């Protein structure tokens, strides 16, 4: 069936919202478009924490024109309380807009549906749930954090067809292509923190940066160490982003994630090594996977996921909403794990 008008215009608002992904945490990415007489007359998105929200930016862009016949499309239910900025619901009512179309409702139980009620009470027409799933997925990390206080965890790695993270010790070449590695840095640019184990730091001396991604901010770099000293000359301790590095010693991964959540880290990208990935899967801490599968066998010494594993196949993780996409010569696999012991 052809897409209806509200869905088409909500997609325009989603396109605006995506401009803020990776730039507004711990706030959600939100986009808005203002429509009058079937024409988009203004757009806006949330650009950074402390700056106007998407709705206010959109209304400001509309200038002084009358909005009595206008419809505002916004990807997330407008804020209805005072935070770093005044409530967007007040600005919407003052603007004299006739109708508001909302994508996803606020997942915070204290706020869910509150803006809808306020706008309706002020005499506006309100529709909600338009492309709700797509609008919610855009802020999957924020949604988990705002409800649970814990970050959304993505497990990411480049691996060979025989399930290895490395080539043999005498072969230091990358497993994945340059295209796949750049794609991985784009993912880094969308998260609040990148996490590795101490052995990965000692062996690889990774930079864990978003180099080459225009406009990207540098996420926190987190190292989990259980024993032994860390190399003081490592790049994450000496480069220009050294103050964006956190060290956790003798802490479980679950405890580390809880502390990061308290620090307003809404999303964590676990990049390895195999022991840390194994711990994450064993403890059912992974919300999403993004693996890059290189077309080679290596026989390397490091397994992709080196945890204890499931006791029975029925208890193992199944990936739902799985997607496959070719990136260079590699295959990118993304999806959401659900463990057999969890309810569907």
Residues forming the active site: 55
On whether the CB atoms of residues 286 and 254 are closer than 8 A, the answer is no
Residues in the chain: 344
How far apart CA 96 and CA 208 sit, in angstroms, is: 48
Tell me how far CA of residue 281 lies from CA of 60, 179, 270, 284, 306, in angstroms: 46, 27, 11, 5, 9
Contacts for 88 with CB less than 8 Å, ≥ 6 apart: 53, 55, 56, 78, 79, 80, 115
β-partners of residue 223 are: 196, 247
C-alpha angle with apex 255: 254 to 256, nearest 5 degrees? 90
């Amino acid at each position: 069936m052809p897409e209806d008008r509200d869905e088409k215009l909500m997609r325009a608002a989603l396109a605006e919202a995506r401009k803020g992904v990776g730039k507004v945490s711990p706030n959600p990415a939100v986009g808005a478009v203002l429509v009058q007489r079937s024409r988009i007359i203004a757009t806006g998105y949330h650009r950074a924490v402390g700056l106007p929200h998407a709705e206010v930016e959109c209304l400001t862009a509309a200038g002084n024109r009358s909005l009595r016949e206008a419809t505002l499309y916004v990807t997330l239910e407008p804020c209805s309380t005072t935070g770093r900025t005044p409530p967007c619901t007040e600005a919407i009512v003052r603007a004299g807009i006739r109708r508001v179309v909302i994508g996803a409702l606020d997942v915070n139980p204290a706020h869910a549906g509150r803006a809808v009620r306020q706008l309706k009470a002020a005499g506006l027409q309100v529709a909600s749930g338009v492309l709700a799933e797509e609008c919610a997925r855009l802020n999957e990390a924020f949604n988990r954090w705002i409800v649970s206080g814990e970050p959304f965890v993505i497990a990411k790695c480049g691996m060979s067809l025989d399930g290895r993270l490395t080539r043999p010790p005498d072969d230091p070449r990358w497993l994945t292509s340059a295209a796949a590695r750049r794609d991985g840095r784009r993912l880094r640019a969308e998260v609040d923190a990148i996490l590795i184990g101490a052995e990965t730091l000692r062996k690889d001396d990774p930079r864990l940066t978003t180099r080459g991604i225009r406009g990207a901010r540098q996420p926190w770099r987190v190292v989990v160490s259980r024993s032994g000293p860390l190399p003081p000359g490592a790049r994450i301790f000496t480069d220009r982003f050294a103050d964006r590095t956190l060290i956790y010693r003798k802490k479980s991964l679950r405890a580390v994630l809880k502390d990061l959540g308290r620090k307003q880290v809404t999303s964590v990208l676990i990049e390895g090594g195999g022991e840390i990935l194994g711990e994450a899967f064993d403890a059912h801490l992974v919300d999403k996977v993004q693996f890059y599968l290189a077309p080679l066998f290596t026989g390397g010494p490091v397994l992709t996921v080196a945890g204890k594993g499931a006791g029975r196949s029925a208890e193992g993780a199944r990936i739902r909403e799985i997607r496959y996409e070719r990136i260079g010569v590699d295959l990118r696999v993304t999806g959401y794990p659900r463990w057999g012991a969890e309810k569907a």
